[in-house]
Amino acid sequence: MAFVLGHKAELSEERIAQYQRAGAMHLLAISGLHIGVILMLLRFFVKPLKRLKYGKVLAALLPVLLLWCFVLITGGSASVTRAVTMFTFLQIGLALARKNASIQGVWASFVILLFVNPRFIFDVGFQLSYAAVFGIVWMMPHWQRLFISQHWSVRYLADLFGVGSIAQLAVLPLSLYYFNQFPLLFWVSNLVLVPLLGFIIVMAIAAVGLSFLPSAYHLYDLANLIFDTYQNTVAWIAQWERFFIESIPFRSIDAVVLCMAIISLFVFLTRPTLRKIWLLGVLTVLFHINLLLQWKPPPKALILHIYKNSLLLTTEREIVVVHHEKKTKKIMQLALQFQLDNRLDSIRYQQLNNSYADLLVIDSLGIYKGVQAHNRVLLRQSPKIHLDDVIEHIRPTIIIADGSNYPSFVARWQATCEAKKIVFHNTASEGSYPLN
């Protein structure tokens, strides 16, 4: 029922990872895709009503009413409400059957939702949903005209491929910026999984609606068989991990330039002209130049602040080496962000050492006597030491205290350094410290 109601709690982490690698993560969360499929099914089932008196009005309003009933069934979450609002206006635009009525309806829902809550514009799901729907409503009519004279089966497959490709292209700048990954097999998911989604939704709703009939219990077995086949298909697609690109470095300026290039591509495809070709070419060149420029060389080492933990990041060739005390989710996130920001290839984890080329690490054991002089000293785990004695033996030019120390110890060390006229860096108040 996760496909219908958006509940992912019953799915294992391995199963969710399979959907991610298959480029089908959007099938688990109720989004524009789910509501779009449901609207398509409702429009199909209400077609016979158009033969009745006032049937066109009824056929236009009944899907909207049923969509809002679906909002109540799923708990009225913000994402579902936004998606249904968007498709409500889209349905009105389709019912009017006027030129540009569909895209105007989507624009109307966009403006109204932002008027109700301007913070929606910062919601990733909101951005992805509207980017995909705008792209589909804008470009699908032009795509469908290419296959208007083909057999219905060819048109059907072309529509599936077109919807998936246009939506993926429309959300590409956002997905690269927020998630830094790209599934190359998304087109397989759209051709195989999306058509089954509508059938699964129908089967699930029918199974729930007929659950009070003992004679309909066999419908559950059929529904379970379809669900198992569906998930096995996802697992088969996900096993091709080489087609799932992760850790793609992508900045906000890259997303802006790529977005401009994609919009120019859509404008060009709607009505090709020489001027649009030049514009598209210039933006494409600017995008590639931007990828090569403005990348600063990564710092040789970086001490970061983590509450009750220690973290030192160093670089070796194209590898991030993560020196840590306790490997936590926060440390993994920071290491990944450092890798993406500096366009490095991979990450390696290892325990934090006590001595590096120009850095001495003094932990709770407080061992420093007999150690050669170092320019920098990192204090961690609140070592019970006399800092005056450390300064006399090690003769550092700067002392750094990370997030694993007690605040009272840090305050005392800072006062000592000020008296000795030695630079003191507290990561809790001054942030990370680069070692270049």
How far apart CA 107 and CA 103 sit, in angstroms, is 6
Based on the fold, state whether residues 335 and 375 are members of the same structural domain: no
How far apart CA 145 and CA 149 sit, in angstroms, is 8
Quick check: 49 and 101 in contact, CB under 8 A? no
Residue 252 included in any domain? no
- Look at the chain and report how many structural domains it folds into: 4
Based on the fold, state whether residues 62 and 158 are members of the same structural domain: yes
Say what the pLDDT of residue 424 is: 93
What lies within 8 Å, CB to CB, of 398 at 6+ separation is 375, 376, 377, 422, 423, 424, 425
- Answering whether pTM is above 0.85, one says no
Based on the fold, state whether residues 12 and 40 are members of the same structural domain: yes
Quick check: 109 and 89 in contact, CB under 8 A? yes
Say what the pLDDT of residue 3 is: 54
Based on the fold, state whether residues 54 and 203 are members of the same structural domain: yes
Based on the fold, state whether residues 79 and 203 are members of the same structural domain: yes
Say what the pLDDT of residue 106 is: 80
Residue 341 included in any domain? yes
Based on the fold, state whether residues 72 and 192 are members of the same structural domain: yes
In this structure, the number of other CB atoms found within 10 A of the CB of residue 401 comes to 29
Give the distance from CA 257 to its chain's centroid.
19
How far apart CA 278 and CA 159 sit, in angstroms, is 29
Based on the fold, state whether residues 21 and 169 are members of the same structural domain: yes
How far apart CA 217 and CA 42 sit, in angstroms, is 25
pLDDT tens track, the chain, 436 positions: 555 555 554 556 676 677 767 666 656 555 566 777 777 778 888 888 878 777 788 888 888 888 888 778 767 666 777 778 888 887 887 777 667 777 787 888 888 888 888 888 888 878 887 888 888 888 888 888 888 777 877 887 787 778 778 888 888 888 888 887 787 777 777 777 777 776 777 776 666 666 666 666 676 677 777 777 777 887 887 777 777 777 777 878 888 888 888 888 888 888 877 777 787 778 778 777 776 665 667 778 889 998 889 999 988 878 889 998 888 888 888 888 888 877 787 889 999 888 887 888 998 888 888 788 888 999 999 999 888 888 888 889 999 999 999 999 999 999 999 998 999 999 999 989 988 7
Residue 178 included in any domain? yes
Residue 251 included in any domain? no
Residue 247 included in any domain? no
Say what the pLDDT of residue 417 is: 92
In a 3-state reduction of DSSP, which class is residue 359? strand
- What phi and psi values does residue 153 have, to the nearest 5 degrees? -65, -40
Based on the fold, state whether residues 51 and 80 are members of the same structural domain: yes
Residue 248 included in any domain? no
Based on the fold, state whether residues 223 and 372 are members of the same structural domain: no
Based on the fold, state whether residues 196 and 88 are members of the same structural domain: yes
Residue 249 included in any domain? no
Say what the pLDDT of residue 213 is: 67
Burial class (CB in 10 A: 0-12, 13-18, 19+), 153: exposed
Say what the pLDDT of residue 406 is: 92
Residue 384 included in any domain? yes
Q: Sign of dihedral through CA atoms 129, 130, 131, 136?
A: positive
Based on the fold, state whether residues 321 and 431 are members of the same structural domain: no
Based on the fold, state whether residues 187 and 286 are members of the same structural domain: no
Q: Domain limits at 278?
A: 257-292
